[in-house]
Structures are given as structure tokens and as C-alpha cells.
Amino acid sequence: MPPAVSGETWPAATTRELTWTPISLAGDVTIDLYKVGAFHSNIATVPAMASSYLWNIAPSLEAGADYTVRISQGEIEDFSDANFSISADPS
């Protein structure tokens, strides 16, 4: 169920779609944001079968090229394949 966000750059204060393949999952998955490999914040908890989530990136989120997304359910987890970037709020 790897989240599809690797290698991209997204501006803060925008909305982006996070997607995954819900193989053998039922119930809810947790979507978390990691920075430099450490937990940063919870993005959402959504039904696994939704297979996507529209993430409103906070305008205050620090710019950086070292973010990953983790999608998990219990002991099952997966991270984005590579880091992605958040750029400064364009406004």
C-alpha cells in the first residue's frame, strides 16, 4: 500500500491527493507525516478502501525536502518510496 507521493514538490497551503492500494485491508488506515525520518504529525484517519485522501497542507508547514508519508493499520505499514518536498506558502 505505498503512498504515491515520492519525489514531488508541493507548496504549503495547497491541497494534494495522497493515494494507496488497500491490499488486504479493512477498516481505517492512519496517514502520518514524517520529517527527517521522525514522526511530525497525523494527517488523517480514513477508511482503507477509500484508497485516497485530499490533504490540505497547512500554510505553516515548514519548507523542506525531507518529508515522507506513512500509511498504517495496526502492524501493517508502508512509507512513501522516497522523500518529497514542501515549498513555502505561495501567497
pLDDT for residue 21: 86
pLDDT for residue 2: 45
pLDDT for residue 1: 43
Segment 49-68 shows an average pLDDT of: 94
Per residue in 2-29, pLDDT (tens digit) is 454 557 888 999 999 998 888 888 899 9
Pairing state between β 84-87 and 9-11:
parallel
Strands (E), 1-91: 9-11, 15-19, 28-35, 38-47, 52-56, 64-73, 76-79, 84-87
Quick one: cell of 87?
515549498
Comparing 22-26, 47-51, 70-74, which segment has the lowest mean pLDDT? 22-26
Q: Residue 39, exposed/middle/buried by CB under 10 A (0-12, 13-18, 19+)?
A: exposed
